[in-house]
Amino acid sequence: MSLQFTDEEFRNAWRELDEPQLEEGWKLFTETMGVKIYRLQDKETGLYEYKVFGVLSTCTAELCADVYMDLAYRKHWDTYVKELYEKDFNGQTSIYWEVKYPFPLSNRDYVYVRERRDLEVDGRKIWVILARSAPQTPCAEKSGVLRVKDYKQSVALESDGGCGTKVFMNYFDNPGGMIPTWLVNWAASSGVPGFLTDMQKACSNYSNFCQKK
């Protein structure tokens, strides 16, 4: 089943590996652990969209893509996951994801669709994964959990020419409610590099996980 993503959306994601598109107000937010994070403020909401550029030095691009797509495995290594599964909701295959937020904030949950394509571009192998919220999916909201209805993410992965992976990530979500600015800034400046570090560690342990299945 097609998940409503266009060839152009995939092309726009992998092109950022070659030429980061940072015109029209993108500003460098932070650089840490070899990861550069840029952000662009949405004038309507005041929220930020982010672009992340970095390298995972110890895992291949294909392995990164496999680990990123494996929802069962993510529940083992991502400590912020409360619930995560793929399900057919009346003919619409979507992913349900509940994220733990620090007390006293309510957890957030997402219902989204995604698609992965393994591309060959002029002899290069590039892996691209696109995701976005699917508010039309008939998945009931939970009491005490805020539903994120505006979410998008794209990831492009390619070999860095050695044993590692060049990574581009673009994401935006509107978590709703009153989120303190310090938490938003922490999530972007520390949470994202931390996620990439955790993912690199997860890649190194993936074969063990697969053998135990």
Asked whether residue 123 is domain-assigned, the answer is yes
Give the pLDDT confidence of 147-174 residue by residue, as tens digits.
999 999 999 999 999 989 999 999 998 8
Is residue 71 within 8 Å of residue 86, measured between CB atoms?
yes
Asked whether residue 100 is domain-assigned, the answer is yes
pLDDT of residue 94: 95
Asked whether residue 109 is domain-assigned, the answer is yes
pLDDT of residue 99: 95
List the single range of 19-23, 40-44, 129-133, 177-181 with lowest mean pLDDT.
Answer: 177-181
Q: State the average pLDDT over residues 120-124.
A: 95
Is residue 12 within 8 Å of residue 128, measured between CB atoms?
no
Asked whether residue 211 is domain-assigned, the answer is no
> Mind giving me the DSSP string for 83-135?
EEEEEEETTEEEEEEEE---TTSPPEEEEEEEEEEEEEETTEEEEEEEEEE-T
- Range(s) of the domain holding residue 57: 7-206
CATH of the domain at 160: 3.30.530.20
Domain count, the chain: 1
Give the confidence band of 106 by pLDDT, cuts at 50, 70, 90: very high
Asked whether residue 149 is domain-assigned, the answer is yes
Token readout for 176 is 């709703």
Asked whether residue 1 is domain-assigned, the answer is no
Please name the residue ranges forming H helices in 49-144: 61-69, 71-77
Decide: pTM greater than 0.95: no
Cα 177 from chain centre = 21
pLDDT of residue 1: 42
Asked whether residue 212 is domain-assigned, the answer is no
Asked whether residue 58 is domain-assigned, the answer is yes
pLDDT of residue 188: 76
Q: Work out the percent of the chain whose per-residue pLDDT is above 70.
A: 99
Is residue 116 within 8 Å of residue 95, measured between CB atoms?
no
pLDDT of residue 63: 97
What is the DSSP code (8-state) at residue 141?
Answer: P
Give the pLDDT confidence of 59-103 residue by residue, as tens digits.
999 999 999 999 999 999 999 999 999 999 888 899 999 999 888
